[in-house]
Chain A
Amino acid sequence: MKNSREIDEIIERYCFEELTPEELRIFEQWLESDPQMAASVNDFLSLKNAFENYRERLALRKKIESIHEEVEFDLFNTPTPLKVVKSGNSTKFLFGKERSYLSIAAAVSIFILSAVSLSLWMFGNGSSKNQNAYRELRREVEKIKKNQKEIIKGINAGDSKEDRSQFTGTGFAITKDGYVLTSYHVIQDAKEIYISNESVGQLQAEVVYSDKSLDLAMLKVKEDSFPGFKEIPFAFKKSISDPGEKVFTLGFPREDLVFGDGSISSYTGFEGDTTAYQISIPVNPGNSGGPLFDNQGNLIGIISGKNESAEGASFAVKSKWINDYINSKSNASIFLPTNKLLVGVDRATQIKRLKDVVLMVRVFN
């Protein structure tokens, strides 16, 4: 009698037509006499079928996405019918020449506005100060505490202070088995990293890889007994979103999860940085690394910083770039989430489903 692994292997080899003629003869006899075995073979065949189907669909999806990227420009430069008007039995689209004039007028005015605001902005900030205007948003917890202690105690010379400052930021899970994204500057120079929220408690994590220029870091939970995150509810958006779209973020500017919402204000981030959006969400230290979602709950960016010299100008790295970066780094072992559990439900429900995968990131250096 063979053990179950050996039986499964024979079934698999049978389904892949790898059995020798001799083995095949014996196996087919066995198959006839044992209905249980026939059922197992059928199961494996549907699984094999599902694998093939999966491979084909992935390839197709990739191809169609790349087609879309190629023709995207043309698509959005032809007028879109706005509304259907039903008259009797025939249905017609309103194309309307006025519409294209309108959109040209709108485009022109946006251009003028942005040109004006850009020049104003450049005027207002001496270019040498620009570096200082960008503020990364990790929170220096120990510094705040220490400062307070010092104020209370007065400064004692000779006090042996441990040189261990703690930073916090936000991160979020992208796979159930423990991969987490956050900003590079949150975990920069970290010796130890802990991630925590209500549902997973506190877990130690390590950096898998990071990229300073994109301000991105991928972490992985280090604990052996980690049972996994809950279902990742959102989908990773691989294309660019447009200004005007409503967006929201969740983060840990304090010890509890805080919600903030606003819109995308610009296609580019600080000083025309094309890898980021400008967004109108008020963010605070600790928000860095937080996920940025659109109305349907698609992940469209990661909060990275704000403009100190302008009110309400925050920045988020675009998900498209993050996607490209992750794809270039990992040999297909990390799958960005494509779930749509946030589509068509209200904001409160979206947040309820998201709060288990948004994490506070604590860093010790």
Chain B
Amino acid sequence: MNQVQPVAEIEILELLQAGDDKTLKVIYRQNYQTVVSFIINNGGTLQEAKDTYQETLIVFCEKLKQDGFELNCSIKTFLYSIGRRLWLKQLKRKSRFTTEELNDSEDYLPFEEDKTDEREEQFYAMNQALEQLGEPCRSILKDFYINGHSMEEITQKFGYTNADNAKNQKYKCLKRLKKSFFEVFNNGLVTNEEF
């Protein structure tokens, strides 16, 4: 990867880091073909390619926000590398992975397991854990911990007679969530292997 990063891209990165959606849109459009074609050329359907590309952008945005983030290649190469890694992971999950070489159209960075991977597993585990909870638990926890509603709002919304009842319910729900979250999170690799 001896590419020198174009000066203009540094500005683009700064705009992206500042959360400029217009720039993100441009980046999205510019790199769509490269990543999507890569996936289609390596055994993916258009839908899979699209999903993986969107996931790629999510990972990209998350990486931008990490402390000390530094880009030593072009944005295109970077996105291609993320997309490539995600697709490899997906192929492994599907065990469609063959020893055959992937058809690469671009240079790419070899990624190691890093912080973003952990975030991916974390998201997956939280999603599974919330999915496994029944109602009203899921809504109560989402309202409180994710949507930032107050206990008073929750008491009213779910029709509890007083805040203490609601708190007690929330406590029980959190206990169950905690259990299934850590179950999935700690066995992350096992669940991935299954499919």
* B-binding residues in A (CB < 8 A): 5, 8-9, 43, 47-51, 53-58, 60-61, 63-65, 67-68, 70-71, 74-75, 78, 80-81, 83-84, 86, 91-93, 175-177, 228, 232, 237, 239, 294-296, 298, 332-333, 335, 337-341, 343-344
Contact = CB atoms under 8 A, between A and B. Distances in A.
B105 A84 contact: yes
Nearest to B119: A53
A83 B143 CA distance: 47
A67 B182 contact: no
11 contacts: A9-B171, A51-B145, A53-B122, A60-B61, A64-B61, A67-B24, A74-B29, A75-B32, A86-B103, A176-B131, A344-B95
B67 interface: no
Given A50-B122, A80-B37, A57 B58 contact: yes
B29 A75 contact: yes
B178 interface: yes
A296 B45 contact: yes
A63 B21 contact: yes
B87 interface: no
Interface string B153-167: 000000000000001
B28 A71 contact: yes
Q: Top 4 A-B pairs ranked by shortest CB distance?
A: A344-B94, A333-B139, A177-B134, A51-B145
Given A64-B54, A177-B135, A84 B41 contact: yes
Contact of A67 (B28, B33, B175): B28
Contacts of A80: 33, 36-37, 40
Interface of B: 21, 24-25, 28-29, 32-33, 36-37, 40-41, 45, 47-48, 50, 54, 57-58, 61-62, 94-96, 103-105, 119, 122-123, 125-127, 130-132, 134-135, 138-139, 142-143, 145-147, 167-168, 171, 174-175, 177-178, 181-182, 185, 195
A55 B62 CA distance: 13
Contact of A54 (B146, B171, B195): B146
B157 to A, nearest CB: 8
A16 to B, nearest CB: 10
Contact of A50 (B41, B58, B181): B181
A54 B134 contact: no
Contacts of A51: 126, 145-146
Give the dominant DSSP class at B's interface.
helix
Contacts of A63: 21, 24
Given A68-B28, A80-B37, A176 B134 contact: yes
B33 A5 contact: no
B48 A296 contact: yes
A332 B132 contact: no
Contact of B54 (A65, A298, A343): A65
Contacts of A67: 21, 24-25, 28
B195 A84 contact: no
Contacts of B58: 57, 60-61, 64
A12 to B, nearest CB: 8
Given A47-B178, A53-B123, A298-B47, A341 B195 contact: yes
B33 A81 contact: yes
A56 to B, nearest CB: 8
Residue from A53, A86, A298 with most neighbouring chain B CB atoms (10 Å): A53
A43 B178 contact: yes
A8 B103 CA distance: 52
Contacts of B131: 175-176, 232, 335, 337, 339
